Structure 1
Amino acid sequence: MRVLITGGAGFIGSHLAEAYLERGDDVYIIDDLSTGSMDNIRFLQEDPRYRNKIFVHINTILNHDMMLELTGICDVVYHLAAAVGVKTILDKPLESIVTNIQGTEKVLEMCNKFKKRVLIASTSEVYGKHTHAPLVETDNIIYGPSSKFRWSYAASKLMDEFTALAHYRTNGLEVIIARLFNTVGPRQTGAYGMVIPSFVAQALKNEPITVFGDGTQTRTFTYVKEVVTALMKLMASDQAIGEVINVGGVEEISILDLAQRIIDMTGSTSTIQLIPYAEAFGKDFEDMQRRVPSTQKLEQVTGFAPDKSLDFILSKVIEYINRR
């Protein structure tokens, strides 16, 4: 099988590419390296087993001719290319909206032209300001005002979902939407505000761990290799077509407790420093207090749901950052 991965040089994309190559498939990657990195996939390019199996194009998904060629060649498409991280959204709001909305429109246009099955990577951010748990795919959406640009990311990803589902209902395009909950693991960088690699890096240097807000906000983290398994199983499932499906982990933790657990696991002498949101991100930021997924639908559709513990995930990230 030939697999196209937009954003394939990114954190999740590189793990997905690796999994398909290990299975014996051909992998085509398009990435503009705005947040991805060749470091994530170079070892795959240099592996003699994959010499004629991996094809990397440094380009934008807005390039019509390039997307026409790649989509026509491949059997299935994973659309992972997107603006990444809170910092990126707040620093480059217009670019982020264009990337998310126009980029997804282009991918769907090409997939519809060639009638190729496509999986759209969405995000738990689309749920907005809910405080109940677990979040299920049919929950209402609750956002803050448009003056708070944090919500532009959630709204743009929700628009991607609407566009994909419209293609399914109007054109019969085989689309699958996966809402990812805080994917974590080796190769993830803290450069775009990702909390676990940032905390681990600070702890290993015995620097103060910077917690934004009061630290009572909670998250559920998902191990990247389990996310990849879920995505591959969703792509292979006819039951997933035309559906929105959560992909998330099992353990809810407050950010303050997360910082302390990382200190304990690394044997760090770091202290915890609370930084007000306004100081960290400016006036355009508003946080989500809680994010816990229901993975019941994922399990029903694929027979699989992530179950790796937070300690397991943290140990893998600590090991990776220590090595680097």
Structure 2
Amino acid sequence: MKRILVTGGAGFLGSHLCDKLIKEGNEVLCVDNLYTGSKSNIHHLMENKNFEFMRHDITFPLYVEVDEIYNLACPASPVHYQFDPVQTTKTSVIGAINMLGLAKRLKIKILQASTSEVYGDPEIHPQPESYKGSVSTTGIRACYDEGKRCAETLFFDYHRQHGLDIKVMRIFNTYGPRMNPDDGRVVSNFIVQALKGEDITIFGDGSQTRSFCYVEDNIEGMYKLMNSRDGFTGPVNIGNPGEFTMLELAKQIIELTNSKSKLIFFPLPQDDPMQRQPVIEMANKELNWKPKINLTEGLQATISHFQKLLF
């Protein structure tokens, strides 16, 4: 049995990771400042003797004894990370420094939940890990994009300078139960609007594409990366290479919810990428991982979650 620290553990992805780690027979220390995370996501774990929750902001040092660290702490949706952009950058950069310092002191393995946003608005499509990205340092998304890029730099410098055992995962769009209905992400936005019978808001003309990975597939990839062979650091893309336009997504959600919602269009936000699709050959080869749950199946489970939440 390992004692494993999960920062951001009360969030959407973090809570599912806590479930997975408990199921695999580990003790979990879940750390979250509850800025975007919620105790409701981990309520079912609170009575588990192998689970512990600590309210803490990782921009401040943390002194605990653990065997592994998964660093997931950071608001991940534009609505949340743009609300306090300075704090978003601090969480990515200072938080990474604090967690890397802890891993260095304890001589343990640490995984960084990075993001496909490090690729920015990509000039090549789809995106392999070798692509260096096209990112604005001055735009409204830079607090998140550049914060995560800097965190990756810190991870690899700690690896080179201190011999730290690191794993870096680039997460593409992920969806599923426990998403925050107000997080501003496209899947949750469309589902909530469709269930309420409201107009579905599409930014741009709806031709921009995303690749959507169901949360169970994402967490399986994360777990396999942490337990991958010694010396394999990544970065590795974890996402579903199935590519859909915003129009296709909206129409499928309307059909699955039997909604009468209509589509309305607004201007595209600044620096919003037009394309996003992962190359997952490295994950397949190194982790024996590929997504198993298709979009329709995943949307049905997510819609069911939101129906219970809203009604």
Quickly name the TM-score band, shorter chain normalised: over 0.9
Q: For residue 239 of structure 1, report the CA deviation from its aligned partner.
A: 4.7
Alignment of 1:241-320 (within 5 A): 241-277=232-268, 285-320=270-305
Contact 2:123 2:134 in 1 (8 A): no
Query: C-alpha separation between the residues in 1 aligned to 2:140 and 2:232?
Result: 32
Alignment of 1:1-324 (within 5 A): 1-46=2-47, 50=48, 52-64=49-61, 67-69=62-64, 73-144=65-136, 146-239=137-230, 241-277=232-268, 285-324=270-309
Contact 1:176 1:240 in 2 (8 A): no
- SS of the counterpart of 1:91? coil
Contact 1:222 1:248 in 2 (8 A): yes
Q: For residue 131 of structure 1, report the CA deviation from its aligned partner.
A: 4.5
Contact 2:5 2:69 in 1 (8 A): yes
Query: C-alpha separation between the residues in 2 aligned to 1:218 and 1:84?
Result: 18
Query: C-alpha separation between the residues in 1 aligned to 2:144 and 2:25?
Result: 35
Q: Deviation per CA, 1:260-286, whole angstroms, max 9, x where unpaired? A: 1100111100001111135xxxxxx22
Contact 1:133 1:292 in 2 (8 A): yes
Q: For residue 212 of structure 1, report the CA deviation from its aligned partner.
A: 1.5
Query: C-alpha separation between the residues in 2 aligned to 1:167 and 1:15?
Result: 28
Q: Where do 5+ consecutive residues of structure 1 fail to align?
A: 279-284
Paired AA for residue 2 in structure 1: R
Query: C-alpha separation between the residues in 2 aligned to 1:95 and 1:62?
Result: 9
Q: Percent identity?
A: 33
Contact 1:2 1:74 in 2 (8 A): yes
Q: For residue 249 of structure 1, report the CA deviation from its aligned partner.
A: 0.7
Contact 1:80 1:121 in 2 (8 A): yes
Q: For residue 238 of structure 1, report the CA deviation from its aligned partner.
A: 2.1
- SS of the counterpart of 1:243? coil
Paired AA for residue 86 in structure 1: P
Paired AA for residue 15 in structure 1: H
TM-score by length of 2: 0.96
Partner of 1:281: none
TM-score by length of 1: 0.92
Query: C-alpha separation between the residues in 2 aligned to 1:241 and 1:170?
Result: 16
Following TM superposition, where does structure 1 have runs of at least 4 consecutive aligned residues deviating by more than 3 angstroms?
none
Query: C-alpha separation between the residues in 2 aligned to 1:241 and 1:5?
Result: 21
Contact 1:239 1:301 in 2 (8 A): no
Aligned length: 308
The change in CA–CA distance for 1:217 and 1:239 in structure 2 (over 3 A counts) is farther
Q: For residue 211 of structure 1, report the CA deviation from its aligned partner.
A: 1.1
Query: What is the root-mean-square deviation in Å for CA atoms of aligned residues?
Result: 1.3
Query: C-alpha separation between the residues in 1 aligned to 2:208 and 2:219?
Result: 26
Query: C-alpha separation between the residues in 1 aligned to 2:32 and 2:17?
Result: 14
Query: C-alpha separation between the residues in 2 aligned to 1:187 and 1:247?
Result: 19
